[in-house]
Structure 1
Amino acid sequence: MNILISNDDGVLAPGIQALAQALQPLGRIVIVAPETERSGYSSALTLDRPLRPVEIQPNIWAVNGTPADCVYLSMNGLFDFEFDLVVSGINNGANLGDDILYSGTVGAAFEGRLMKHPAIAVSLVGHHMAKEDYTLAAQWVYEFIQNGLPQLPERHILNINIPDVTQLKGALVTYQGLRSQAKPISSHVDPRGRQVYWIGLSGEAVAEPHKDESGLQSDFYAINHDYVSITPIQMDATNYQVLKQLDDALKNTVL
């Protein structure tokens, strides 16, 4: 396999290095990632300036752009061969629930949504992760891919979150959970007397006392109970349950 690896933590982040090392037995591994951290960039593409990919080591490229830029370039002419799989990560921290709206890790994976295998976004959930923690998570990803990736419909990817625990209980297929409203912004005055703001922390997980209609649990549930969370997510954000109802409601309305 030709496997493209990207992330939003930067080309030299420990998570991407551990992932590349673990996946070596699967085929040709190429890293194309932002030259510095680009967390929170979602699927943003850089359109106002040229991009500059630089090969800093064999098969390791740094790009002055976003995670999605990196995958877009790689799949649209940067190389003279095609990739079979895109793996984004291993992210430093969770991408659970509403996080996927902002996540550069998920954004990079979505750029690989047209692969013949489902693209994968991988995050390690914990605090103060050490290099060894990423190595263990990367080994799990290697075994997951080696055992055969599941078939998904077109334009779907897998969002995988791995808890940073010494003993995993296994893996659960999960649905995307919910977060409560984000914490308030933090206001400060800089040394020149100007008002500045920091974005607040993510909201807490919304309590989910019951399983969903399929009998499955949320991604938050899996992580909180020491399971790997595997969530299929899609590009098509249309709410088909509401679609017909809305059409009927607006048929006689002049818009």
Structure 2
Amino acid sequence: MNIILTNDDGYFAPGIQALYKALKDKCNVTILAPDRERSATSHWISIREPMVIKEQDKNIYSCSGTPADCTTLAVKGPLDLNPDLIISGINNGPNLGTDIIYSGTAAAARQAALMSLPAVAVSMASLRGPYNYEAAAQFIAANTDIFVRKADPDHFLNINIPNLDKEYDVQITTPARRYYNDTIHTYTAPDKGVYCFVQGALHDVVPEANSDWAAVQQGMISISSIYIHPLNHDNNVYQKVEFTKP
């Protein structure tokens, strides 16, 4: 099996290195990941500038592009990798619920699914380290065959793993609805530019028994199957609206 590892934390990040170590003796594994941190880049793709691939070590490559770019280059680029599975992570911290809209980790897996490849996004379900990447990597390595065998072209898997050194229970979940309490702090510089800094606060979460957030709060591995196609969930509010014509 040919497995490509990518992420949004950079090819040097401890999470992706732990995955590489856990997988390298059971399959053909290659890292193709950003050359710097690309967190919260969402599904940004590079269409107006070149992307540079550099070999950092045997089977380890950096890319100047985004996580989604790395997936595209893994499939269609010059390295002749022919992936059977793309794994994005292990991310430094959680990607729960609506976080996956912003997540570069999720975007790399989504891009693979859009290209009809089995794909998994993996995150540590904690905001505090030190992270037990090795235990999380062993869980992923033990289940690669399932990820490929049960894959379908319309979904990728979003997995959040508790930062615990024990056997985990696994729950199949749905993404939680999260509300973001960000604030903007500004500074007016001598050059008259107004510099804006986003500062995040703790997120509010809609409590749902089967959500990914609820599962990790109970110390379980959360696995959500994410549909890649935009979908209108029974929102018919505009069907009877008469729009004004200019």
Q: Report the TM-score, using the length of structure 2 for normalisation.
A: 0.89
1:137-216 alignment, distance < 5 Å: 137-146=136-145, 149=148, 151-188=150-187, 194-201=193-200, 203-208=202-207, 210-211=208-209
Q: 1:169 to 1:76 in 2, by over 3 A?
A: closer
Aligned residue for 1:64?
A: 64
Aligned residue for 1:249?
A: 240
Q: Distance in 2 between matches of 1:191 and 1:24?
A: 53
Q: Distance in 2 between matches of 1:81 and 1:184?
A: 43
Deviation (angstroms), 1:227:
0.3
4+ residue stretches of structure 1 with deviation over 3 A?
114-117, 146-150, 188-195, 245-248, 252-255
8 A Cα contact 2:114 2:228, kept in partner: no
Q: Distance in 2 between matches of 1:92 and 1:191?
A: 36
Structure 1, gaps ≥5 residues long: 212-216
1:69-80 alignment, distance < 5 Å: 69-80=69-80
Aligned residue for 2:215?
A: 222
1:227-246 alignment, distance < 5 Å: 227-242=220-235, 245=236
Q: Distance in 2 between matches of 1:247 and 1:52?
A: 45
Q: Distance in 2 between matches of 1:169 and 1:84?
A: 26
Q: Report the TM-score, using the length of structure 1 for normalisation.
A: 0.86
Percent identity over paired residues: 35
Question: What is the SS of the residue equivalent to 1:136?
Answer: helix
Q: 1:150 to 1:173 in 2, by over 3 A?
A: farther
Q: Distance in 1 between matches of 2:189 and 2:16?
A: 34
Q: How many residues align?
A: 245
**Deviations 1:30-79, CA, capped at 9 Å, x for gaps:** 10000000001111111221111011111111111111111111111322
Opposite residue 178 of structure 2, the aligned amino acid is R
Aligned-residue RMSD, C-alpha: 2.4
8 A Cα contact 2:94 2:127, kept in partner: no
Deviation (angstroms), 1:148:
5.6
